[in-house]
């Protein structure tokens, strides 16, 4: 968690511009984005050709990613709203309940209102509440077979922790998380980031962890943005942390 933050936030400080001009270094290799940061007329013919290149050095890629990170995911997504009352779900998961029948998280207020009306089934899809682990697992797997991204992610969590009768299988969990992440589930990216940051069940890879945390944060995942702030703070990058 406390590893240095990757790269710089913005390319363009005076010292960097002087370093990149390279008028006395005709063979200097810099990427197209770096060249575009130079003032007109301050680059040589080789660098002029690179100005049209789509290749990017690692530093420019990181800087670009962080600029996008500052613009994307600064508010919670509609997926964080209760599907019944449409109000944002509390960040405390104990104040809401996840329904495996429809893969929806419903706030406790709507669940209480339903029970007051004598409804013991799912207040969203009206499916009877499962009572055994096998019934719950069957519902999850049915949604997974239908290609539900949230169900794929949810099944990954059950494999990671060995719940609902499943044996703990982190390798399978990672496979499911990666599939769910590709389908846009921010929580899957967050869990992948945590696994690679901890390095207990998978190879420790802080660079990969940060990439997953960034993807989750850009998707509006609150905890991921907090973790990135924590990492930046420990690296002494207070502006980015803030």
pLDDT in tens, 135-155: 999 999 999 999 999 999 999
Burial (CB < 10 A; 0-12, 13-18, 19+), residue 150, is buried
Q: According to the model, what pLDDT value does residue 179 have? A: 97
Which pLDDT does position 9 carry in this prediction? 27
Domains by residue range for the chain, with CATH? 14-71 (no CATH), 74-129 (3.30.40.10), 131-242 (1.25.40.10)
pLDDT tens digits, residue range 17-34?
333 334 334 444 455 555
Chain segment 110-132, per-residue pLDDT in tens? 999 999 999 999 999 999 999 99
Q: Between helices 206-218 and 186-198, what is the axis angle to 10°?
A: 160
The angle, 0 to 180 degrees and rounded to 10, between the axes of the packed helices 149-161 and 133-145 is 140
Q: ∠ at Cα 144 (141, 147), nearest 5°?
A: 160
The rounded distance, in Å, linking the Cα atoms of 9 and 240 is 8
Residues 102 and 115: their CA atoms lie apart, in Å, by 18
Q: Please give the structure tokens belonging to residue 242.
A: 């803030």
User: Mean of the pLDDT values across residues 68-83?
Assistant: 82
Model confidence band, residue 163 (pLDDT cutoffs 50, 70, 90): very high
Sort 228 into a burial class: Cβ within 10 Å, 0-12 / 13-18 / 19+.
buried
pLDDT per position as a tens digit, 4-16: 333 222 223 333 3
Q: Which residues are within 8 A (CB) of 82 and not within 5 positions of it... i.e. 6 or more apart? A: 88, 89, 96, 105, 106, 107, 109, 110
The radius of gyration computed from the CA coordinates of the chain, to the nearest angstrom, equals 23
Identify the band that residue 70 occupies on the pLDDT scale cut at 50, 70 and 90.
Answer: confident
CB 27 within 8 A of CB 9: no
Q: Tens digits of per-residue pLDDT, 185-229?
A: 999 999 999 999 999 999 999 999 999 999 999 898 999 999 999
Strand, helix or coil for residue 98:
strand
Q: Does the pTM exceed 0.85? A: no
Give the dihedral sign, CA 177/178/184/190: positive
Write down the pLDDT at residue 183: 95
Mean of the per-residue pLDDT values for the chain?
80
Burial 49-68 (b: 16+ CB within 10 A, else e): ebeeeeeeeebbebbebbee
Residue of 114, 166, 175, 110 lying closest to 136 (CA atoms): 166
């Amino acid at each position: 968690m406390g590893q240095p933050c990757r790269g710089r936030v913005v390319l363009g400080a005076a010292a960097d511009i002087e370093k990149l001009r390279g008028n006395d270094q005709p063979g200097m290799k810099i990427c197209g984005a770096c060249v575009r940061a130079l003032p007109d007329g301050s680059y040589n013919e080789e660098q002029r050709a690179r100005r049209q290149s789509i290749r990017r050095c690692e530093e420019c890629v990181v800087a670009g990613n962080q600029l996008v990170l500052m613009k994307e995911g600064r508010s919670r997504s509609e997926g964080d709203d209760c599907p019944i009352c449409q109000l944002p779900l509390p960040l405390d998961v104990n104040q809401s309940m996840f329904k495996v029948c429809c893969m929806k998280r419903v706030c406790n207020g709507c669940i209480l209102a339903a029970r007051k009306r004598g409804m013991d089934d799912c207040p969203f899809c009206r499916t009877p509440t499962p009572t055994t682990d096998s019934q719950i697992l069957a519902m999850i797997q049915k949604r997974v077979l239908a290609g539900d991204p949230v169900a794929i992610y949810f099944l990954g969590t059950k494999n990671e922790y060995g719940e609902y009768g499943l044996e703990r299988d982190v390798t399978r969990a990672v496979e499911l998380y990666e599939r769910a992440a590709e389908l846009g589930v921010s929580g899957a990216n967050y869990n992948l980031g945590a696994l690679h940051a901890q390095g207990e069940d998978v190879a420790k890879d802080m660079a990969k962890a940060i990439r997953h945390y960034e993807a989750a944060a850009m998707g509006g995942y609150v905890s991921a943005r907090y973790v990135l702030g924590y990492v930046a703070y420990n690296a002494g990058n207070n502006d980015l942390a803030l």
